[in-house]
Amino acid sequence: MNFKHSLIVLSSILVSCNSTDKNSPTYSRWVGDIAHDPQIDGEHFQPCHGDDQIYQYFNMQRGLQFEGEKIAIERYFLKNYQPVKTNQSGWIRVRFIVNCIGETGRFRILESDENYQERPFDKKISHQLLQLSKKLKGWEIQTKDEEPVDYYQYLIFKINNGEIEKVMP
Amino acid sequence: MERYKACLAAEKISEHYQFTREFQSILDSAITIDPTWDYPYRAKSTAYLKSGDFITWKKLIDKAVAYDTLANLYYRGRCRFNFFRDYKGAIADFKMLKQVIYNQNKVKELLIHDDTHVDTFLALCYRSLGETEKAIEIMTSRMATPSYSSGLFDHLHLGCMYLEQEEYIEAIEQFKKQEAINDLAENRFYIAIAYKNVLDQENYLINLKTAKEYLQQGKRVHDYYVENIDKIYWANILEEEKGIPKGISVQK
């Protein structure tokens, strides 16, 4: 049984059992799902298979897939990011969707200090990274059973005093 | 009794993918039954870790560590290192683990997971903080202990530490040991660099060629979720080839 079929069967079981939904109304379908927000997201970007069929980038068991591999991503940011003079350090995650034709959209930001406490960075840092992430081209189309799929991808920037120390994953 | 009931409740997650609301909700139920059980916190945390949500992950894994320190400290430290390159945080966890094991007189096997001793991670953290000499000292001390059993990448990492320190003979020795245990594109690439620096052109070319072949075959350091330390890429090979004088080739 493939992954998609497994999900359908499990969903059916859950519906028939009227299981735990009422106890967890705040959870989305999957952890980290990003719903379309007309205030933020352009109309041009759409997942090819709907919001309920979006995978995680590692579900296809190939890891991060980018033209030129991970090193190209890191070099792109190190080349184009302008360091900001500040004592702010911590992590910024930019999470988004890569659709079945390699387009990206629904970018969202998560920010924390060095102690994993949520707090915004100087906009000159976070906005810059967001814009650079949106401009980054080269995400590869991933397939499941030879069918191109939509998937969630993220980039985490470890920031040290306004400079990029490391790009992950 | 609560633990048993919570365990029965948590068993139901086996039917669900860890990212789903059902998986998360079932574990919430287990936590409601027994809020002091570490397992559901850690199990919940995994999806957040893999989706890069460092804030929620940390809150959950901290709970797991609080309720069972010995079982979760190595894991938390390793995740801090692998997923977030939180070197200082990981060092604090690894040191605390050693202290807890010492204080509670627990078996030292708890310092090893997936064939990798906590000292390997500790050394990698110090190296990433620029303290390579200290990292080498930790690695060589660990390797000198009678009970030492090599981790999958121990010699690769130690070789790279020596390479950084421009101690090429020691680096070559470690890469050869890595070759004997788990021969990869990475140890071949770095040993080529070491040979280049000791002006051994023949071994430089042979190993660079092998590194390229291994990369083509997928015989390389790889992880679906994180970038391994000392991983090499196609770009590294191609850039190295560009530096080779005309007339000498690493191609087949």
Residue spans per domain, chain A: 29-168
Q: Tell me what percent of the residues of chain A surpass a pLDDT of 90.
A: 83
The beta-carbon neighbor of B15 closest among A10, A61, A91 is A10
pLDDT one-digit tens code per residue, A10-37: 443 343 333 444 444 589 999 999 999 9
- Give per-residue pLDDT as tens, B82-109: 999 999 999 999 999 999 998 888 887 8
User: Which residues of B sit within 8 Å Cβ distance of A?
Assistant: 15-17, 19-22, 24-26, 28-29, 47-48, 50-55, 58-59, 83-86, 222-227, 233-236
pLDDT of B114-163, one tens digit each? 889 999 999 999 999 999 999 999 999 999 999 898 989 999 999 999 99
Can you say whether residue A77 is alpha, beta or left, with left for phi > 0 and alpha for psi between -120 and 50 degrees?
alpha
Closest CA to A160 of A84, A90, A85, A71: A90
Strand-pairing partners, residue A104, are: A98
Query: How many Å from the N-terminal Cα to the C-terminal Cα in chain B?
Result: 67
Residue in chain B closest to A169 (alpha carbons) equals B226
Cα separation, B109 vs B121, in Å, equals 15
Indicate yes or no: CB of A169 within 8 angstroms of CB of B15. Answer: no
Task: Report, as an integer, the average pLDDT of B36-53.
Answer: 98
| Domains along chain B with CATH numbers | 1-67 (1.25.40), 85-149 (no CATH), 150-252 (1.25.40)
How many whole angstroms separate alpha carbon B134 and alpha carbon B145?
Answer: 17
The structure's pTM equals 0.90
Those residues of chain A that have pLDDT short of 50 are 1, 3-24
Dmax (CA) for chain B in angstroms is 76
Least confident of B67-71, B171-175, B245-249: B245-249
Which among A19, A56, A63 has the least Cβ separation from residue B22? A19
Q: Radius of gyration over alpha carbons of chain A, in Å?
A: 18
- To the nearest whole percent, how much of chain B has pLDDT over 70? 98
- Which pLDDT belongs to residue B250? 59
Q: Confirm if B112 and B145 have CB atoms less than 8 A apart.
A: no
Contact B227 A118 (CB under 8 A): no
Nearest-neighbour CA in chain B from A42: distance (Å): 23
Give the confidence band of B245 by pLDDT, cuts at 50, 70, 90.
confident
Q: First-to-last CA distance in chain A?
A: 30
